[in-house]
Amino acid sequence: MCPNPREKFEELKKQFTPSELYLSYKTPSLDKAEKLVDHLYQTAETITRLDDHIHIASRLLRRLEKAVSGRDFDIERAKRIANKILVFVAFYHDIGKAEVQYQLYARHEFEELCRECTRTPPHNYSSVAFLTKVDDIREKFIGTLHEEGLSLKVADLTYVACLTAIAMHHEYFDYKDIAFLDFLTPLTLSLAKELSPDTMLVFDDTYIVVLDEAVKRLRADVPLPRSRGSVTATLSEVLEHIAVIHYEFGATLVNPESLSLEHRSDYVRATSSLAEALTWILTIADNLAARTRGSSDPERSFFASLIERYYG
Amino acid sequence: MKHIELYTHYVTPTFTKLNLLGLLHLVQQSKVAVLEGIKLARYGYAVNVLATSEDELRKDLAETIINVFKPVLRLEEVAETKTEKRKARGKREARHVAEIDGFSIDTQFLYSGGKETALFKSMKHTSEISEHEVEHIFKQVVHDKRTSRKGSSPSLLLAPDLGKFSSSSIPYGQSYPDIVDAKEGKDEWSVCTAVAMLGLGVGSFKLHITSDRGSTYFFAFPSINTNAGYSTTRILYGVGRRLSAMYRHIKDFRRDERFELSTAGILALISPIVKDVAVSSQVLSTVGLNLFDVELERKGGQYVRQVASVSATYATRLPNGLTSAMLAMLRSLRSLVVEVPEFFNALGEYLLSGDDTLYIEALRILASVTSDRQLSDTTKRVAKFLLSNAQR
C-alpha cells in the first residue's frame, strides 16, 4: 500500500483549479496535456457523430426490446435512445481517471510516492467503481430510458450493457493480462493485474466540477450523481463487480467441454450483442477523441492509429 | 412502475437462503422484473423488484419458471434391482432421481420419510405451473410451525440442514414442517421448494464424492445477513453463479477413474474455491459463505445421514497467491491431479493441520515435478506457475 496518495493530491489541489488539475493521460509535457474534462466532452461529442454505429446500436436495441417484451418501436425513436445510451457510456467511460492515484500517475508523481507500486488501478475498473458506488445514477438512467419508451427490463439490461462496455473499453488494450486466466474471480483478477486487493480507490469531491463542466459543454441530458461528496472504494470490492460483469453474460454460459458459449435465451444473446457493440463503438469514439492528444509518435497508441486509419 | 416484494418461505435457515438464490435467478431471467434489492423480512427475505404491474409480473414469473427449469431439470423415477422393483411396485413408490444443472440429487438419499415424493413433485410441477399458483411467492409463509414449548420438538432454526425435507435422523421425530403450498388431490408440491432447488442448482458449488462406505455431498453457497441494495445483491447473486460455474469445471475431475486423491487431497482441490469466496465475504462483510458437508453412510442397505456445517478455517490457510494461481490454471489443473495427486494430498494435510512443514513438503513435490521427464508439459507448466505464486 502506498503511504498516502491523498496528501500529495491535496498539494496538487492547491496549485490548480479542478478543471485544470484533472488530466486525461500521462504525458511528458504536462502543461500541454489534455484535460480530463476535455476528453470526456470530446468522446461524448464524437460518439454522437458516428451515425452508422448509432444505427447498429439502435437495431440491436430494437432486437432486445422485441426479445424481451415483443414490442416493436420505430427506428427514429430507437436512434434517439441509442444516442442517449452512447452519450452516457462515453461520458462516464473515463471517470475512473479522476481517481487520485491515476491523477498522480498522470503527473509523474505516482512512482515517486511509492517505489514498490508499479501499477495504478486500471482506470476502466475505477470507472465501474464510481458508477456502482454512486448508484442513483443507475436509477436516473433507467427512469429516463423508460420514459423514452423502453420497457423497464430493457432499460435495466441496457444499463448492465453500458457497465460492461465501460469495464471492457480498456481491456482490449490490457487483454494479455487476463487472457491466461482460466477462471475469473476477484482473486485471479488481482493476480493478473498485479495489484493488491487492499488498494483504496479515492475520488476527491472536486471530480464533480469535471462532470458539471463536461455536461454544460455537451448540452445533453446525462444523469449526474445526486450526492456531491467524495467517493471511496477498495479494489477488492471493485473486482467483485468486475467479476460479476464477466459472469453476467459470459462466463456462466461457457460450456467447459466445448469452451463455447451456450446462450439459452434470445434476450441474453441480444444483450450481450448490445454490450459488445457498445464496447466497440466506445473504443472507436475514445480513440478518435484522443487524436488531439500530442503529436509525437510515442504518445499515440497503436490502436488509435489503426482506428484512425479505418474510421477517421 | 410499481415496487413489488417477492418472498422466500421459511422452513429452515438454509432452505431460506437457497430459496433466495433461486428467487434472484428467477428475477434475473424474468422479462418484466427489475431487481432493486433485498430486505430482511421476519424469518426470511423479501426481494424488491420493480415492474409495471403485479398482474404482468405474476404472468411473467409463471412463464419464467417454466422456461428456467426446463433446460436444467431432469427427473427420473427408477427402480434399481428386480427385487427393489417389485418392492417398489408393491409400495407404489419408486426411487426418484432429480438432476438440476447437471447435479444429481438422489431424493431418497437426501430426504427421507416419504417427503422425497413431494420434493420430486414440486420440481415436476414447474413444467405446468400456472399464473395463479405463482401467487405463493408473493406472500410470506412460515412452514415450520413448531415451537420450543416443552414437549414439542425445537424449531428447525437450530438445524443447519439442507432443506425442509431433510430431517431424517435429526432428533425431531416425525414432526416435519408442513411444506405444502398447494394441494391438488394426492399431489403435494410447493413453489418455494422448487425455487430453493433451483437456487441449489444455479447458485451453489456442490460436489458429490462416492466411496464404498457411502457418499459425501459438499455444498457451498453465499447468503446475506442484512438488507442490501442493488449492487450488493448483484454481487451476492454473482458469487453464487460463480460457484456454480466452478462446479461445472471441477465436476468432471471426479469422474476420472485414475484419481488417487485422498480425502485431504479432495479438500485441497476445492479449497481455492472456498478460499476465493471466503475472501469475497470478508470484503463484503454482508455476504456470508455457507459450507455444508453431508455424509451418507451405508448401513445395511440403508443410508444414514449426517449433516455438518464445515468451517472455512482450513481453506483460509491456503495462501492468496496459490489460491489465485490454482484458479487461474483451473482447466489445466486436471493434469496435475491425474499425474501428481501427492501434491494435493500433502497440501490437504497441511490445510487440515496447519503444519508448515507439510506445506513445504507439498511445494517440494511440485518442485520435483519440473525435472521429471515422464510428466507432460502441461503438468510442468502448471507446477511452475503454482510454485512461482506459492510464497506466503
Q: DSSP assignment of B58-115, as one string? A: HHHHHHHHHHHHHHHEEEEEE--SHHHHHHHHHHT--EEEEEETTEEEEHHHH--TTH
Which amino acid, A33? Answer: A
Mutation target to probe the A interface, by most A beta carbons within 10 A, among B52, B280, B332 is B280
Contact A90, A10 (CB under 8 A): no
Q: Chain A to chain B, count of Cβ pairs less than 8 Å apart?
A: 110
pLDDT at B150: 52
Residue B33 in grid coordinates: 422484473
Dihedral angle computed from the Cα positions of residues B347, B348, B354 and B357, in that order, rounded to the nearest 10 degrees: -30
pLDDT at B163: 46
> Where does the pLDDT of residue B286 fall: very low under 50, low under 70, confident under 90, or very high at 90 and above?
confident
Rounded Cα distance between A287 and B20, Å, is 43
pLDDT at A197: 82
> B203 CB contacts (<8 Å, ≥6 apart)?
B18, B21, B22, B24, B25, B221, B222, B237, B240, B241, B243, B244
Chain A residue whose CA is closest to B238: A244
A121 touching B (Cβ < 8 Å): no
Residue A147 in grid coordinates: 420514459
pLDDT at B315: 84
Q: Which residue in B280, B329, B331 is closest to A186 by CB distance? A: B280
Which domain, by its residues, includes A259?
5-311
Order of strands, edge to edge, in the sheet holding B34-41?
B2-7, B44-51, B34-41
Task: Give B67's contacts in chain A (Cβ within 8 Å).
Answer: 265
pLDDT means per 10 residues, chain A with 312 residues, are 73 87 83 87 93 94 94 92 96 94 87 72 93 91 94 95 93 75 87 86 92 92 90 90 86 71 78 93 90 61 72 68
pLDDT tens string B96-123: 788 888 888 776 655 555 566 777 888 8
For β-strands B73-78 and B95-100, DSSP reports them as antiparallel
Q: Which residue in B31, B34, B50 is closest to A267 by CB distance? A: B31
In this structure, what CATH number is given to the domain that contains residue A254?
A: 1.10.3210.30
Chain B residue whose CA is closest to A70: B31
Q: Rounded to whole angstroms, what are the CA distances from B8 to B16, B43, B114, B124, B191?
A: 6, 9, 24, 20, 10
CB contact under 8 A, A241 and B235: yes
Across residues B289-297, what is the average pLDDT? 76
pLDDT tens string B177-196: 555 665 555 667 888 888 98
In chain A, % of residues over pLDDT 90: 50
Q: Which residue in B71, B244, B323 is closest to A187 by CB distance? A: B323
pLDDT at A37: 92
> Where does the pLDDT of residue B168 fall: very low under 50, low under 70, confident under 90, or very high at 90 and above?
very low
Total number of domains in chain A: 1
3-state secondary structure of B231: helix
Instruction: Specify burial of residue B89 (Cβ count, 10 A radius: 0-12, 13-18, 19+).
Output: exposed
Task: Give A156's contacts in chain B (Cβ within 8 Å).
Answer: 34-35
Q: Which residue in A69, A181, A187 is closest to B279 by CB distance? A: A187
Closest to B202 measured CA to CA, from B153, B150, B255, B238: B238
Across residues B60-82, what is the average pLDDT? 84
Q: Which residue in A187, A243, A254 is closest to B238 by CB distance? A: A243
CB contact under 8 A, B389 and A191: yes
**Which residue matches cell numbers 493485474?**
A193
Which amino acid, A79? Answer: K
pLDDT tens string B199-235: 988 899 888 777 666 777 788 899 998 899 999 999 9
> Where does the pLDDT of residue B171 fall: very low under 50, low under 70, confident under 90, or very high at 90 and above?
very low
* pLDDT over threshold 90, residue B362: yes
A310 touching B (Cβ < 8 Å): no
CB contact under 8 A, B283 and A248: no
Q: What is the pTM of this model?
A: 0.88
Q: Rounded to whole angstroms, what are the CA distances from B187 to A130, B70, B127, B181?
A: 51, 20, 14, 11
A65 touching B (Cβ < 8 Å): no
Q: Which residue in B234, B244, B327 is closest to A188 by CB distance? A: B327
> B253 CB contacts (<8 Å, ≥6 apart)?
B259, B269, B334, B337
Q: In which element (H, E) is residue A201 found?
A: strand A200-203
Residue B138 in grid coordinates: 408473493
Enter the ipTM.
Answer: 0.90
pLDDT at A191: 87
Q: How far is A132 from chain B (nearest CA, A)?
A: 6
Which amino acid, B358? Answer: L
Q: How many CA atoms lie within 13 A of A291 on its CB side?
A: 14
3-state secondary structure of B180: coil
* pLDDT over threshold 70, residue B80: no
> Where does the pLDDT of residue B170 fall: very low under 50, low under 70, confident under 90, or very high at 90 and above?
very low
pLDDT tens string B153-162: 444 444 445 4
Which amino acid, B154? Answer: P
pLDDT at A301: 64
3-state secondary structure of B294: strand
Residue A203 in grid coordinates: 475520488
pLDDT tens string B307-331: 666 677 788 899 988 999 999 988 8
CB contact under 8 A, A186 and B283: yes
> B202 CB contacts (<8 Å, ≥6 apart)?
B21, B22, B25, B72, B100, B101, B240, B241, B244
With left for phi above 0 and alpha for psi between -120 and 50, is residue B182 left, alpha or beta? beta
A272 touching B (Cβ < 8 Å): no
Residue B375 in grid coordinates: 510428466
pLDDT at B251: 73
Query: Exposure string (b/e) for B329-348, b if CB count within 10 Å is 16 or more?
Result: bbeebbbbbbbbbbbbbbbb
Chain B residue whose CA is closest to A65: B31
Q: What is the distance of C-alpha A170 from the center of its chain?
A: 8
> B360 CB contacts (<8 Å, ≥6 apart)?
none
CB contact under 8 A, A183 and B328: yes
| Mean of pLDDT over chain B | 79
